[in-house]
Amino acid sequence: MPRPRTFDEDRAIDAAMRVFWTSGYEATSTQDLCDATGLGRSSIYNTFRSKRDLFDRALRRYTESSTAGQLEVIQDATVPIKERIRRILWTAVEPDPGDPAGCFVINTIVELGPKDAEVIDLLDRDHELKRVALTTAIRAAQATGELDPERDAAGLATYVFTVLGGLRVAARRGADPDTQRSVVEATLRSL
């Protein structure tokens, strides 16, 4: 009879997520995961089957959480569209101080994107969900006169998420917050 688990699986996934976010998939060792989660190798492999399974679960946890937060901001029609966009971009300027630098998704795209179609498919679907939501919000703002109705709404949404990705890459390399702020302000002026 298998022994019952004596640990919180969600907490272990969260701890592993932070390690993968900081170090990437390939540079993270099983020992790093043991140290972060407080679990032994056998517990990790019995629960998650493999380092890759744990990584996939951590990445899904991150995207679900991050996307839910972004969608909440995007879909809040009580807030002017430029303020919603500023709030999305500002997460790269002033991230949660307890989070690793940059973005787990962007870091993963850079590391695994060229060679891992399964990860890219997950991240593409996640990105498309947010892009479509922002396109819809921009179109609604165009209909009310908040934004120029002649502008390509889908192109603007893509532009915003491209800037966000760039800000997060810059944050990963230690970009100056004042420079990051100026990028956000320039982006808002260009809308």
pLDDT surpassing 80 at residue 2? no
- pTM as predicted: 0.89
* Residue 35 covered by a domain: no
pLDDT of residue 4: 46
CATH number at residue 95: 1.10.357.10
CA–CA dist 90, 118 (Å, integer):
29
Question: Confidence band (pLDDT; 50, 70, 90) for 6?
Answer: low
Nearest to 54 by CA among 32, 85, 79, 77: 32
**Structural tokens at position 5:** 């688990």
pLDDT of residue 187: 98
* Residue 139 covered by a domain: yes
DSSP string, 67-78: HHHHHHHHT-TT
Average pLDDT (62-76) is 96
Q: Please give the residue range of the domain that contains residue 165.
A: 59-190
Position 150, amino acid: E
Nearest to 11 by CA among 37, 29, 30: 37
